[in-house]
Structure 1
Amino acid sequence: MKKQLLFINIVLLTLFSSCKNKEEVAPVEEVKANTFDVVVDLKIEKDDELILFYKDPSIAYFDDKKTVYNGVKGKSESQLITFSIPEGVLPNDIRFDVSSNKDQAPITINSITLSFEGRVFKIEQRDILKYFTPNEFIKFDEATGVATFIKNGENFDPYFLTKPLIYPEIEKVRGAKM
């Protein structure tokens, strides 16, 4: 009988101590993908869908397969919009479509930041035209960062293309050896 009681006590003690140990283990955080991100600080007053096109060494031109869409709720104050390029893809060029809404009010772009693995390149408002070229659907005021949209009949596709000056900066953010 003493052996049975001793056995039961050992089993109970083991159960209680293992339960206690489980409570002390910190929860494991979900590991997030390490993505190349483009973060745009802007003020956009009407709901819209913004698009980031990207190229990598496998393609020579922008196409619909290499895009990141971001639905945006319009606000009267600035907001950060993050485009995360899929994990494992390192772009060598980007195109930023700033509106899909034909009724969009002018937007203000405060900055554009590229980041990957802790490496960051931030383009301030005053330097946007140094690194990007607006297409024919955008009138961009460099002093204020305001992009006004130009309608051409039914055509409406306002976007910014990169200038060659940005390519070395993209490479640095990617971590490429120069």
Structure 2
Amino acid sequence: MNKKNILINLLAIVCFISCKNKDVQEPVEEVKANTFDVIVDLNIQKDDELILFYKDASIAYFDEKNTVYNGVKGKAEAQTITFSIPEGILPNDIRFDISSKKEQQPIKINSIALSYNGKIFKVEQQDLLKYFTPNEFINFEAATGTASFTEKEGNYDPIFNTKPAIYVELEKLEGKQL
């Protein structure tokens, strides 16, 4: 091999390595929004749309503007559904609409966790009724955490409202002094 071929091969290798290194990027840490999340672990058999309503001190009633929708694919095994409230909003109350479909099979709620700023408050299945109240469209079996649904006078709106015990936990998550 002559010097010219060696030099060309050497330049080609340097160029190849140099170009290849430009494609390699340093890992960039993903900046995530500091959101208040409600994480529901449940068994849901049929596709549905679950809705989380939230309010803060600036509003008195739950409304359509302050909602997070979450379409769910039904399946036999448990799944986790996360509702992220928009960044900068710290709720003082929530409402969980557990089903939008009249033909929904019973849903088993394994737990509901509230998460904010690295803190988590988890309500296990056996404690659901301590923190949440099912409305008249839900027949709730506390022993199994199973909600079945009923229509009343042509209406269907199964909701879990919060009980006062949850407000203390919301304040703790938000770092408010009690």
TM-score normalised according to structure 2 size: 0.86
Q: Does 1:55 align with 2:70?
A: no
* Counterparts of 1:34 and 1:22, CA distance in 2: 33
* Counterparts of 2:97 and 2:17, CA distance in 1: 58
Alignment of 1:24-173 (within 5 A): 25-173=25-173
Q: Give the drift of 1:25.
A: 4.9
**Which amino acid in structure 2 is aligned with residue 66 of structure 1?**
N
TM-score normalised according to structure 1 size: 0.86
* Counterparts of 2:88 and 2:106, CA distance in 1: 35
Point out where structure 1 has 5 or more consecutive residues left out of the alignment. 1-14
Match in the other structure for 1:3: none
The Cα RMSD (Å) is 1.8
* Counterparts of 1:174 and 1:138, CA distance in 2: 30
**Which amino acid in structure 1 is aligned with residue 175 of structure 2?**
G
Q: What number of residue pairs does the alignment pair up?
A: 164
Q: Give the drift of 1:19.
A: 6.2
* Counterparts of 1:81 and 1:40, CA distance in 2: 5
SS at match of 1:111: strand
* Counterparts of 1:56 and 1:71, CA distance in 2: 24
The structure 1 segments of at least 4 consecutive aligned residues displaced by more than 4 Å after TM superposition are: 15-25
